[in-house]
Structure 1
Amino acid sequence: MNPELIEQVTKMVIEKIQSRQQSTETSNTDKASPVKFWDHTSASKNKSDYQRTQDQSRTESGGKLIEIKSYTDSATTSRQKTEGNSVESSQHREADSVSEELKDLQDKTPARIGVGRAGVRPKTDTWLKFRFDHAAAVDAVYGDVNDSLLSRLDLFKVNTLVEDKEIYIRRPDYGRKLSEEAKKTISERCNKSPTVQIVVSDGLSSSAIEENVEDVFFSLKQSLTSLDLDMGTPFYIEKGRVAVMDDVGELLKPKVVVLLIGERPGLVSAESLSAYLCYEPGKGTIEADRMVISNIHKGGIPPVEAGAYLGTVIQKVLKYEASGVSLVKKEE
């Protein structure tokens, strides 16, 4: 079959169809462009000359038909957009307010607040810091005080009924009693009936002793000297609890016992020291008779300042011959 004849017939049919469409259309907004064919029989013409052209409306709209919306649709869309912007602005203001309040709280506490999460888990930095602090707390409980520190402070060492750390943790009552050997050593090496007896113990944090007790100890000694108060022979109790000061009171009969002991470590600080005071402790002493200055460390009460303040508190205890709740009642 002759290809030229087929092409001529096809052109005639297309032109006929296009002429009918043009006569029936009432709008020119979506008018179809005429179709041009590549004359494959002529080698002199360029193929690009026979590509389909776009009408003006398509060109202006970037190749897409222009969609004309009604006034009601436009008004609804505008209103929704305005409302959306208002809600978004409100959310931003609320977020800013929350962030400012959170920042204020974070500035006031070392606790882990507002650290965020990654999915259902803590962020990597937060988790690693938590693991580090937890490990420091464990080391504080299970660690031992360096003998070189005891030598610098001229403290001799005695023990409670506790034999190892596991027993110390499970049996707090064992840490409240001196061993028979300890009682004998204290009786032989310490002065009897001093005004102030200083005792040091690792308690639940050897790190607290390592980091703070030297500054507190020397500051307290200087404060007692300036107040002209005589001090007994200080010593160190390994694995002791707070109530061990009662046994010390029974043995030495001091007016005031000051026990510098490591606090239970937390995830914020594992090196916090406490200073417990009691007037004439012994058998029958109750917890209400004791008083404490706690949170002694570089992030809390400065150790040197704590030692100086202890001298003032001891002077008050001696004046009223009471401590704890009894001292508060007498002051009133």
Structure 2
Amino acid sequence: MIDNTQLEQLVARVLAELKESGANVPAKSANGYSTLPAKEGDLVIDLPDPTEESMRRRIMVENPADAEGLRNLCAATTARLGVGRAGPRPKTAQALLFKADHGVTQDAIYGVVSEEVKDDLNLFTVTTRVADRGEYLLRPDLGRLLSDEAKKTIAEKCTKGPDVQICVGDGLSAAAIDNNLREIYPVLEQGLKSAGLTVGTPFFIENARVGIMNDVNTIIGARVLVILIGERPGLGIADAMSAYLGYDPQPGKTDADRDLLCMITTHGGTNPLEAGAYVVELIKRMIKHSASGVKLREAMGEDQ
């Protein structure tokens, strides 16, 4: 693997060769090679930002067999279509876009939810049994269990036996919470209170997995528990939130006992305001039928 010293030597050789060929190379400054301002005749190596919408949506297939069909297909999805190839490899612009989007996903996964966001909604913080973010990614099981200190804090601070308990977890995207929580939470709170339902004391769970719902409700005893949690980021959308809901979640219950609304984001998903209204309606159905997940579908089918 090339180290920094070797890389600098390589760059120096390339620039020296460019100078010999007659190119004007910008002088080296304290921060590296300066490109601003560029004088007439200077060599400026630059590319447009690959993450700009105009660049992201470009169709780069040369001479497509059905140009109109390809345009229609690309317009119908945010998936990476029509990216083109340079021989057996992706084109440079697409390779750079992929790396840029991958960087955004890493920021989302390893990011930390803003204290300001939590303070705005009066959320206190507890943790799971995960020691750090690295362990969180390797040990999902530990993210489904509260730490002993967390259990004690929840028991002391939270109202017991509410109709609905709302929790917030960072999950796999801190950006999902930072970008969407302020919008969806007031809709949930107001909608539930308008429906005559009591709402428990909200709080934030660091390094949380969805299954933490079961552990939390052994302490809270809510009829319905909701966790708003960051989704696994994708290459292009890294701030999507999910709302998982369960009727009386307890140890041993699984995804079959839960309901889910995913892709809550203003970037090509369900708007947080609309999502909040839908979640309130879903909670009302759960309480009416005393069920969630598969059992809720069965109960609703029997009523029809």
Q: What residue number does 1:122 align with?
A: 90
- The offset of 1:217, in angstroms, is 0.7
Q: Any residues of structure 2 matched to 1:1-332 within 5 Å, and which?
A: 98-298=66-266, 299-332=268-301
Q: Which amino acid aligns with 2:81?
A: I
Distance 2:94 2:64 in 1: 23
Distance 2:127 2:216 in 1: 12
Structure number with the higher helix fraction is 1
Q: Percent identity?
A: 48
Q: What residue number does 2:32 align with?
A: none
Q: Which amino acid aligns with 1:322?
A: A
- The offset of 1:316, in angstroms, is 0.5
Distance 1:330 1:205 in 2: 34
Q: Which runs of 5+ in 1 are unaligned?
A: 1-94
Q: Which amino acid aligns with 1:232?
A: G
Distance 1:97 1:311 in 2: 48
Distance 1:103 1:267 in 2: 21
**Which protein is bigger by CA-based radius of gyration?**
1
Distance 2:64 2:127 in 1: 57
TM-score, reference length from structure 1: 0.70
How many residue pairs get aligned? The number is 238
Aligned residues: CA RMSD? 1.1
Q: Which amino acid aligns with 2:287?
A: L
Q: Which runs of 5+ in 2 are unaligned?
A: 1-62
Q: Cα 1:100–1:246, aligned 2, differ >3 Å: closer, same or farther?
A: same
Distance 1:237 1:146 in 2: 13
What SS does the aligned partner of 1:291 have? strand
Q: Which amino acid aligns with 2:237?
A: S
TM-score, reference length from structure 2: 0.77
Q: What residue number does 2:49 align with?
A: none
Provide runs of 4+ in structure 1 moved above 4 Å: none
- The offset of 1:140, in angstroms, is 0.6
Distance 2:263 2:71 in 1: 24
Q: Which amino acid aligns with 1:265?
A: P
Distance 1:121 1:330 in 2: 53
Distance 2:254 2:243 in 1: 17
- The offset of 1:120, in angstroms, is 2.7
Distance 1:312 1:142 in 2: 33
- The offset of 1:119, in angstroms, is 2.7
- The offset of 1:268, in angstroms, is 2.5
